[in-house]
Amino acid sequence: MKRIVCTMAPASCLQLSSIRPLSSISSLSSSLRISKSVTTRISLSISNPYPNLSLSLSRFGTRDIHQHAHSFRIKASNFLRTEGNTVEAGAAGNVAQASTTVSQEDVLEWVKKDKRRLLHVVYRVGDLEKTIKFYTECLGMKLLRKRDIPEERYTNAFLGYGPEDSHFVVELTYNYGVPKYDIGTGFGHFGITVEDVSKTVDLIKAKGGKVTREPGPVKDGNTVIAFIEDPDGYKFELLERGPTPEPLCQVMLRVGDLDRSISFYEKAFGMELLRKRESPEYKYTVAMMGYGPEDKNPVLELTYNYGVTKYDQGNGYAQIAVGTDDVYRTAEAIRLCGGKITREPGPLPGISTKITACLDPDGWKTVFVDNIDFVKELE
């Protein structure tokens, strides 16, 4: 038995230098154990004949290693990669627990390749049936499903323009006995594309809906838009466009530092900056972030108002849900990019769907949901 003791080194990955063939790596897994001393050193006891084994584990104590081990529990055969004489390894079995601190570069590269899409946006309403009626009759949405959780005193309703497994939808939450919410100043609006804005506005007026901006071209552009409010005061921007697979096309949130937000969503969320528009005359800048072209995919519209660094987020708007292939790796990427994890990655009690939740630099919440588990939940 050979004992190797290493301190918290600045390197950010487990490296096995000058190592023997892959088939012999698996013999390490049965004899690896990790312990933590009072001086926050990590002791690794390895039954292994490799004299040149060098290990570096950065930033993590044993609690973190065990907590995130699952995210990199990948077979060595499809994780090892050789660069010169160095092999970066996430070997099978327990060795994976020592390799959770892969390099930041590797994690962020994985984020770009992860299969992600916007699943739904969640917010609270005071009268669920009234809101469902407005969305279906005035906005043309369909009620996709509804679930009541009486033991926790709330009901959810999912509405949209197509099935949840392929479309972005809204998830309305009604908490028993709560008739009203504070929307705050940070939430902006939802965007919906329609083929004729004027006709849609006329229908909304006929149904008693509130129109806050009459149909007309957008400032400095040709797109015809209008603004309306739902029964709870949430704003919707109606945009006149041709047919699209995603009529529910935007969620607009206000941020205090646009460049910081763009960087965070690009790196931690793997989104693209689709376009950026500055309006110095009206003292604001807008950035459209998403997972594909704006005409076919929903986008997150981030708005920076000159000189405003903080907003009241109220208690009405809740979060966006994003699909991912691995909630554990997702949580690690968010940490590396300065985001705050508010729910550690793992399965939800009762339904076993794996999720993780985080806050962006402005405190806006996002929940990441395992793609396979999400499909199973729908079934």
DSSP state of 325: S
Give the residue among 83, 100, 82 at the shortest CA–CA distance from 91: 100
Cα–Cα distance measured from residue 294 to residue 135, given in angstroms and rounded to the nearest whole number: 23
Give the residue among 86, 88, 18, 9 at the shortest CA–CA distance from 44: 9
Cα–Cα distance measured from residue 124 to residue 316, given in angstroms and rounded to the nearest whole number: 5
CA atoms within 13 A on the CB side of 84: 3
Cβ neighbours for 171, distance < 8 A, ≥ 6 positions apart: 120, 121, 122, 123, 156, 157, 158, 321
The whole-angstrom distance between residue 243's C-alpha and the CA centroid of its chain comes to 27
Backbone torsion region of residue 27, taken as left when φ is above 0, otherwise alpha when ψ lies between -120 and 50, otherwise beta: alpha
Amino acid type, 162: G
Let me know if 377 is a catalytic residue: no
Cβ atoms of 166 and 248 closer than 8 Å: no
- List the structure tokens of 291: 């997972």
Residue of 164, 237, 240, 246 marked catalytic: 237
Cβ atoms of 6 and 55 closer than 8 Å: yes
Instruction: Give the three-class secondary structure for 125.
Output: coil
- List the structure tokens of 351: 């339904």
DSSP for 235-247, written as a single string: EEEEEE-S--S-S
Binding-site residue numbers are 171, 189, 237
Give the residue among 3, 8, 107, 11 at the shortest CA–CA distance from 53: 3
φ/ψ of 358, rounded to 5, equals -150, 170
Alpha helices, DSSP H only, in the chain? 62-68, 95-98, 104-113, 128-138, 197-206, 258-267, 327-336, 371-378
Binding-site residue numbers for Zn(2+) are 171, 189, 237
Give the residue among 353, 330, 356 at the shortest CA–CA distance from 345: 356
Catalytic residues: 237
